[in-house]
A and B are shown apart, each in its own frame.
Chain A
Amino acid sequence: MVDFSLSDPDRAVLDGVAAEAKAGEKYARHYDDHEEEVLPKSFPEASGFPPIQQRLRGRSGHDTPMLVLQVLMRIEREAHCGVPLRQPPTALGNAALDAAGTAVQKARWGHLMLAMSITEPGAGSDTKAIQTTARLDGDAWVLNGDKIFVTNGVRCDGTIVWATVDKSAGRGGIKSFLVMKGTPGFELVRKERKLGIRASDTAAYAFRDCRVPRDHLIGGDESVPRGEREGSASYKGVLKTFNMTRPFVAAGGIGKALGAFRFARDRLAEAGIVVDVDEGPTCRSAAAQALLDIEADIEAATLTVLRAAWLASQGKPNNLEASVAKAKGGELCRSGPQRAMEALGAMSLSHDYPIEQYLRDGRITDIYEGTGQIQRLVIAREILGYSSEELT
C-alpha cells in the first residue's frame, strides 16, 4: 500500500537537520553580500550538532530508504535561508569518480574533494559540443581548454575535467580526467559573481598545455568507440549520476519555496491573516488564497521528488520521474517565492528579511543539472518512445 508516512526516528533526523540549518541562518547575509569569500570548513556552531552519520545511526530497515531521506533532508536544509555549518567533504567530481573510476582510482582519490568541470563558455546543455581537448603525449595527457560554472571550484583539491580525445568521434571521444590543483597549466581564472547561491563557490578554469599522468584518465579506457550512440563508458557513467542528482536538485528548489512560504505565512499571521481551509474561496483574502496555492504546489512537487528518489532506492529506472521532479521543482522555486513576495509587498525587497534571497537562491534550480527545457526533452523522449537522435 502506498504510504508516505515517516517513522519516529526519521522525524527525529529531520528535526535535527532543521535545527542545524536554522543555526546557519545567521551567516546567510554575510556570504550573500561577500561573494568573494569562501566558507570555512566548519563554523563554531557546528560543534553543537552531531555529524549526520551519527544522526542516521539506529535507523531500522522499516525506516525511509536512505535516498528518500536525503531528499527530505535537503528540502529542510534549503527551507532555512542559511549556510551549511559544515562543508561536505566531497563534491560532484566524487560522484563521477564513484560512477566511472577504477577500483585503484577510487582508493587513491576518493578521500579528496573533487569538483566537476563540464560546462564551457560555448557548451552548456549540449555537453558533446565541448571543445577542451586531451592529447596523449608520451606518458601524459595534455589538456587545453576553458571551463566555467565549476561548483566548489575554488575550495576543491582537484577536479574531474571533461575533454575530447577525438572530436571526430562525437560523444565517444569525450573522456574525463583528474587534474589536481597546482598542476602546471591549470589556472583558477576567477570566482563567478552570481544572482544567488553566493555562499556556494563557483569557479572558472583555464587549462593551457596542462600535463596530467596517463593513469589520470577516469576509468582507464583509452579506446574511442565509433558509431555508438551513447558515448564512452565514463561519459555514460557520469550521465547516470544525474538520475539521482536531479531529484536532489529539485528538492533544493522546493526547500526555497517552502522557506518563502513559511516566512510569508508567519508574517501574514502577525497581520491577522490566517488560512482557514473551511472558509469558502469567496470569503478568503487574496493573501490567504496565495498561501493555499503555494502550499499545494509545494506538496505536489515534494511528492514528485520522493517518488523519483524512492525508485532509485529500489534500484528501479527513474529517468522519467527524475526529470519530472526536476522540471516541477524548477517551476516551483520561481512561482512560490514570487507569489509569497506579492502577498507581503515591498518589505520583501529588504535584506532585513530572507524572502528575496529565497527567490534568488532558488532560481538556479531550473538551470543547473539540466535546464527545465532539457528536462522536458528527456520527459518527451521517455513518454513518446524516442531516442535522443530521434527527438532533439
Chain B
Amino acid sequence: MNFACNETDDILSETIARFAAEELRPRLREFEAAGSVSQDLHTRFEALGFVAVDLPEDLGGAGLGLTTRLQINRRLAEADAGAALALDRLGPAAYVIEAFGGRDLLKRYLDLLAKRPEMRVALVIDPDVISAPKSSVRGEAAWIASGCADVLVGLGRAGAWLLESGFVIEAVRGAALHAAGSSRVRYDGRPAHAWHDPSSVARALAKIRLYYAALIWGVVADAAGFSRRYALDRVAFGKPIAHHQALAFLIVDMHIVVERLGLLIEDAARRIDAGEDGAADAASAFIDAIEASRFVGPNAVQILGGHGFMRDYPVEKAMRDCRALGLLGGGLDAAQDDAGAGLASAKSQELAA
C-alpha cells in the first residue's frame, strides 16, 4: 500500500498546476465569452507533452497510464474544466477507439491529429446501439461540450461506431463548460467503423467515466478551496464566517466529499492501470463525482452568499461546470446500473466460491 505519488507524477502535477494557474485561471471568463481557447494556448499546452500522456510510447504517448492522465484533468479543471476539454482534441473518444479499434486505429487518429492542429474528435452517447450496429447510424445529441468535430464517435450499451462524415454540428448556447464549445449534433451516415462488443463498451466506459470524474474532482476541489478561503476572510456578526458552525461544518463536509472522491478515482484508475477490471469501481467513482458536484457546487455558491450568485466570482461557474460534467458520459442512472451489476457479479462469485 502506498498513498504517496511517485516523483514523476509529482513533477508532472506541479508543471500542469503551474500551466493551469498561469495560462487558464486568469483567462477563464475570456475563454467563456469566446466559447473556445486560443490556438496559441493549444500549441503551448501540446508543447508540454501531456496530450497522450496515458497512451503507450510507441503510439507517441508517454506511457504513464490513466492515473497520470486523471491528475492532469484534475489540475486543469481546478482552473477551468471547459478549457481542459477544449485542450484535449481527441478527448475521451480515445478510449472508445482504443477499446474497439485497437492500437492501430488509435495510432491512425493520433497521427492525423498531430498533422492537423485544428482537428477535433467528439464523443456522443448513442442509446440506440443496443445490439449489433447497422450499416448506417442515425440520431441526434441535443448537447455536446464541443464547438466542432471532424470525427464523431458514438458509444452505446452494446457497441460503438465512428463517423468521418455524415454528421452536422450546429452551435447552440449551453449552460456550462463554455470554453469547450457547445453544440447540437445530428448524424445520419455510414460509419467508417462499427463494432458490437459489450465487453469493450465496459472498458471504454470505465475510462470515460473516470475522465469526467477527474474533471469534476478538480472543479469541486477548487470551489471548496475558494469558498473555504472566502469564509476565513469574510466577517459577519463580528467574526469570520468560518467561525459560525453552520458554515464550518458545511466546509468540513465539502472537504470530506472532495477527499473521498479523489481516493475513489485514484483507486479505480490504479486498478485499470494494473490490468484489472475496474468497470464497477469506475462507475462508483463517477456516481460519487456526480454527488460531489451536486453538493459542493451549489454550496460553494452558498458560502459566498449573494456574491456567490454574481459572475464576479468563480463559484457560480464551478456550480454550472461540475453540474454539466456529471451529465456527460451517459450520466448517473447508467453508472448506477453498471456499479450495481458489478456488485451483483462480485456477490455471485463469492457465493459460487
Contact = CB atoms under 8 A, between A and B. Distances in A.
Interface in A276-291: 285-287
Interface in B302-340: 302, 305-312, 316, 319-320, 323-324, 326-328, 330-333, 336
Given A346-B143, A376-B246, A125 B173 contact: no
A350 B309 CA distance: 21
A376 to B, nearest CB: 6
Interface string B10-28: 0000000000000000000
A342 interface: yes
Q: Which 8 pairs across A and B sit closest by C-beta, in order of nearness?
A: A347-B142, A351-B173, A356-B175, A195-B316, A350-B143, A126-B236, A193-B311, A286-B333
A129 B236 contact: yes
A298 B247 CA distance: 26
A79 to B, nearest CB: 19
B306 A149 contact: yes
B310 A194 contact: yes
B142 A119 contact: no
Interface in A367-382: 367-368, 371-373, 376-377
Interface in B130-144: 141-144
Contacts, number: 130
B305 A359 contact: no
A148 interface: yes
B346 interface: no
Given A125-B236, A286-B333, A363-B319, A342 B309 contact: no
Contact of A148 (B306, B316, B320, B336): B306
Given A347-B143, A349-B176, A367-B309, A126 B331 contact: no
A346 B142 contact: yes
A124 interface: yes
A33 B172 CA distance: 12
B89 interface: no
B327 A367 contact: no
A342 B332 contact: yes
A122 interface: yes
Given A342-B290, A373-B244, 13 more contacts: A123-B236, A124-B305, A125-B236, A195-B316, A343-B333, A345-B125, A345-B331, A349-B145, A352-B184, A356-B174, A363-B298, A363-B309, A392-B244
27 contacts: A29-B173, A124-B306, A125-B305, A126-B236, A193-B312, A194-B311, A194-B316, A195-B301, A341-B323, A342-B326, A342-B327, A346-B143, A346-B144, A348-B175, A349-B176, A349-B324, A349-B327, A350-B143, A350-B184, A352-B142, A356-B176, A364-B309, A366-B302, A371-B305, A373-B247, A373-B302, A392-B237
Interface residues of A, number: 49
A33 B237 CA distance: 37
A296 to B, nearest CB: 18
Contacts of B141: 346-347
Interface residues of B, number: 45
A372 B302 contact: yes
Most A C-beta atoms less than 10 A away, residue of B182, B247, B298, B306: B306
A343 B336 CA distance: 12
Contacts of A196: 309
Query: Chain A contact residues: over half helix, strand or loop, or mixed?
Result: helix
A392 B182 CA distance: 46
A360 B320 contact: yes
Nearest to A392: B237
A192 interface: yes
B125 to A, nearest CB: 8
Interface in A281-307: 285-287
A205 to B, nearest CB: 15
Interface of A: 29, 33, 119, 122-126, 129, 148-149, 192-196, 285-287, 334-335, 338, 341-343, 345-353, 356-357, 359-360, 363-364, 366-368, 371-373, 376-377, 392
A349 B174 contact: yes
Interface of B: 125, 141-145, 172-176, 182, 184, 235-237, 244, 246-247, 290, 294, 298, 301-302, 305-312, 316, 319-320, 323-324, 326-328, 330-333, 336
Residue in A126, A149, A338 with the greatest tally of chain B CB atoms within 10 Å: A338
Contacts of A366: 302
B311 A350 contact: no
Contacts of B184: 350, 352
Contacts of A377: 246
B334 to A, nearest CB: 9
A286 B143 contact: no
A343 B143 CA distance: 15
A367 B333 contact: no
A310 B305 CA distance: 29
Nearest to B293: A338
Given A195-B311, A346-B144, A371-B305, A126 B176 contact: no
A360 B302 CA distance: 13
A346 B309 contact: no
Contacts of A29: 173
A207 to B, nearest CB: 19
Contacts of A359: 175, 323
A368 B311 CA distance: 16
A349 B143 contact: yes
Contacts of A124: 236, 305-307
Nearest to A32: B173
A222 B51 CA distance: 69
Contacts of B327: 341-342, 345-346, 348-349
Interface centre among A125, A195, A357, A366 (most CB of B within 10 A): A195
